[in-house]
A and B are shown apart, each in its own frame.
Chain A
Amino acid sequence: MQQHLIEQYQQHKQNFVGYKDEWLVELREEALAYFLDKGLPTTKEEHYKYTNLNKLARSSYHLSHASSSVSKEQISNRVINTSNNILVFINGYYSASHSQIVESHNNLYIANFATALKEKNKLITNYLGKQVSLDNSITALNTVMHQDGAVILLDKNVKVEHPIELVFIHHDDDKSMQHVRNLVIASENSQATLIEHHYALDESEYLKTIITEIDSGANSQLNYYKLQCENKNAHQLSQLDVHQHQDSHFNYMSLDIGGKLIRHDINIKLLSSNATCQLNGLYIAKSKQHIDNHTCIEHQSPYSTSMENFKGILDDKARAVFNGRVIVQEGAIKTNAQQNNANLLLSNDAEIDTKPQLEIFNDDVQCAHGATVGQLDEQALFYLCARGIDQQQAKTLLTFGFAKALINAISDSRIRHKFTELALSKLDAEQLIQESF
């Protein structure tokens, strides 16, 4: 992959976003050097022990092409509400004609990265590469090649009324790659809901990297939803870095149903006191899908809280990884950190590697973690069948029932509905939609 990446970089660098900004070109080339040196992580590295990128490393991907064959309906069918703020990226490139900003005023900035680089140059310069240090190959790869992404800036006290939907659509030849870079800065006391969607309109093989940086200001409240519905030949490597300040709330909920090989790194730093994060995730995998969620929460200050709840449903030969690292620093007294990972295995060939990783450097904390791996409850199955429900339907009911509470924790009804719909479709249980509402 390394050699091919140099060629791709040389070929496209004149067209990259910010190719005239010297600092950005330098940053890209620094990242290129890093990537050439390190390459993709191998299973010898502890945090990639269960996720093998070898095949990816041996393949060559070309930078994605722009596509003009995506209709408006293909977007409106997929978004949560067509009256929301919507930014659409097709093959990694912003599409103004598919997008709409319904809320705009002086204190709220919603734009694509390329535009923001022109309009908010100083701010972008300040942020980019500062929060995300070039300390891993995925970041490096993304930094070399990043094409576009979303930039969202909330000024002090801004409450964004309509959710902001970021829709990433893939529709390209085989072996394309796209690299997305998002930046969200939520100033003091601001509030917003963001939804990140991923869909493919064809079955071609591709690689997508996404880096999202979020700065969550004092007393800000952010809800971040991620719907990962890539196609069955997709590779997605994503990294979310959140810096939380005093009294901030960050709520995250993801649904993974797509992809061939998926890896998410979610890194939360609770920098100041009383910051709270809730990380929830549901992954449903079949055939030979591989879905890896690596979370890392660092409690740096007193009275901070992290609540984590990931659930997985695995069928066929699917494989999932959950690694929940929690670091509680010496000064972070009265930390409350709760973690849970529950998995339902529907086949004997499915596999889960789940691992809590607690590193606690003071005594005055409340930390708990739990991991379970189970099968469908035979007693419950018989109970339902004894009432006349056929076995397959009973299995589906119990399977969805396993995930339902997690989805129902989503407070916004439209978003909850969307999660339900997608989860049910993955479970071939669309008929249960009525049961859910």
Chain B
Amino acid sequence: MLKIENLQVNVGDKNILQGIDLEVKAGEVHAIMGPNGSGKSTLSNVIAGKDGYDITQGKMTFLNQDLTTLEPEDRARKGLFLSFQYPVEIPGVSNIYLLKAALNAKRAEDGLDEIDAFDFLQLVKSKMAELKMDEDFLYRDINSGFSGGEKKRNEILQMSLLEPKLAILDETDSGLDIDALKIVAEGINRLRSADKGIILVTHYQRLLDYVQPDFVHVLAKGKIQKSGDKSLALTLEKSGYAGIND
């Protein structure tokens, strides 16, 4: 469903992605690992449509459509979801409003009516229960004053509600305690199915113990240096990124 070919991206004059090739098919889980500053978030943001990146070369399609011509909101409505490495605090806009507006935007795209207010509340509360989130979070402003772990869980709540076709989770496991990691992993596994794709950006094996990837890629210096199956992650865990470039 996602196909990236020779993607090259600059920020200012800095060449950050230097030719990425990646294909994610329905039903697959891909893990992307790599040292700090190697371009993992850049890749995630470019896929989601964030401004400020200059795509100098390459192609990027989602469900056979050229992604580069779509606004971020259109990408989201078509089923692309990015769980942010650093979810943004948005004072003055409540979480419940965002959840409802996001869901309705997607429903409109799918030709459905707005969800009934009561049904929505039932639905979102059941998702929150799965993630062991207190209902108070609905009425708080988006991520405002949330702890690091609470923000990540809130991202997964949005994902569970929107049921995207392709989810990119940028270090959603970072900053989670042991129990929360398990809860979040269960959330990801609930999404996992034959018609959905998942990209896990992570530094740690522990998430991959719960959500076993079909492929593992190592992104370093703006390129995918190595790809393999889940055993590659275990190798990295032992010996680090040294020697990966060769």
Contacts and interface: CB of A to CB of B under 8 A. Distances in A.
A93 interface: no
A389 B105 contact: yes
A385 B76 contact: yes
Interface stretch (A29-37, A356-364, A401-409): A401-409
B165 interface: no
Interface string A383-411: 11111111101100110111111000000
A372 to B, nearest CB: 13
A382 B90 contact: no
B90 A380 contact: yes
Contact of A405 (B75, B81, B89, B91): B91
B112 interface: no
Interface of A: 377-380, 382-391, 393-394, 397-398, 400-405, 435
Interface in B49-75: 49-51, 71-73, 75
Contacts of A403: 92
Contacts of A384: 90, 93, 98
Interface in B149-206: 158, 162
Nearest to A382: B50
Contacts of A377: 88, 90
28 contacts: A377-B88, A377-B90, A378-B51, A382-B88, A383-B84, A383-B88, A384-B93, A384-B98, A385-B72, A386-B75, A387-B98, A387-B101, A387-B105, A388-B102, A388-B106, A388-B109, A389-B98, A390-B105, A391-B71, A394-B73, A397-B92, A397-B97, A398-B90, A398-B93, A400-B92, A401-B91, A402-B92, A405-B92
A403 B48 CA distance: 29
Contacts of A398: 90, 92-93
B77 interface: yes
Counting chain A CB atoms within 10 Å of each CB, the highest count among B48, B49, B76, B141 belongs to B76
A384 B143 CA distance: 12
A344 to B, nearest CB: 11
B102 A389 contact: yes
Contacts of B92: 397-398, 400-405
B87 interface: yes
A424 to B, nearest CB: 13
A380 B88 contact: yes
